[in-house]
Chain A
Amino acid sequence: DIQMTQSPSSLSASVGDRVTITCRASQSISSYLNWYQQKPGKAPKLLIYLASSLQSGVPSRFSGSGSGTDFTLTINSLQPEDFATYYCQQTYGIPLPITFGQGTRLEIK
């Protein structure tokens, strides 16, 4: 299976900051990388699909980039509602297994 490694595992930031979360794949996954946000007690929410496409309804302060093995999720001007856990997900080569990163917890500084 393709392994996904996110960094950092946790991150403290302030409202208004710009933060970047990275996700590295154990092999090339082209652009088959998605990002989700999850708040406590809630289902995950799709933010970015296929590495850089913004899901409908998601604020433009969220952006994604990368291809191959290295990907980033950037949040510009953090808002209070952005404090959550973020997961990357690779979906390369379906029907090969889909895997998630271990998550990055974004906390208020």
Chain B
Amino acid sequence: QVQLVQSGAEVRKPGASVKVSCKASGYTFTYYYIHWVRQAPGQGLEWMGWINPNSGDTNYSQKFQGRVAMTRDTSISAAYMDLSRLTSDDTALYYCARGYSSGYSDYWGQGTLVTVSS
């Protein structure tokens, strides 16, 4: 069965970086996009960007341009989201999700809580 398993919770100080991993199984990793979506406590969903695991092409929300990097390792079917220059506003649950070329996501990871606090 399709599964996306994310890395565990992280705590960072303001100004630091965090890297979240998303390991896929149960399907051909390079056939589907990986989207990253975050959700601040008590707030709605915010799309951050996607990576095409086949080509490595990425597309980032302008809000995160220059601060986010999405990468993949096809040898282990894993995707990564690296977010730098963290502030308290980046405290959120970060999800990876399998996506189709038309943009919708049918399988989601369990979420990774990133807490930014001094």
The interface residues of chain A, by DSSP majority, are classed as: loop
User: Is the C-beta of B89 less than 8 angstroms from some C-beta in chain A?
Assistant: no
What is the number of residues of chain B that contact chain A, defined by CB distance less than 8 Å?
Answer: 23
Contact A43 B110 (CB under 8 A): yes
Chain A nearest CB from B108 CB (Å) reads: 4
Interface 1/0 per residue, A89-109 and B, CB below 8 Å: 101001101111111000000
Binds B, one of A20-28, A44-52, A76-84: A44-52
Interface residues of A in 31-68 (CB under 8 A from B): 32, 34, 36, 38, 43-46, 49-50, 55
In the complex with contacts A44-B108, A46-B105, A94-B102, A100-B95 CB distance below 8 A: no
Contact B47 A100 (CB under 8 A): yes
User: Is the C-beta of A71 less than 8 angstroms from some C-beta in chain B?
Assistant: no
User: Is the C-beta of B111 less than 8 angstroms from some C-beta in chain A?
Assistant: yes
Contact B103 A43 (CB under 8 A): no
Known: A36-B45, A44-B105. 16 other contacts (CB 8 A): A1-B62, A34-B103, A34-B104, A44-B95, A44-B97, A49-B102, A50-B104, A87-B44, A89-B104, A91-B104, A94-B59, A94-B102, A97-B61, A97-B62, A98-B50, A100-B44
CA distance A88 to B109 in the complex (A): 19
Q: In the complex, which of the residues A36, A38, A87, A91 contacts B103, with contact meaning CB atoms closer than 8 Å?
A: A91
Sorted from nearest, which 10 A-B pairs have the closest CB atoms? A91-B103, A43-B108, A49-B104, A34-B104, A98-B47, A95-B59, A100-B45, A103-B44, A46-B106, A102-B44
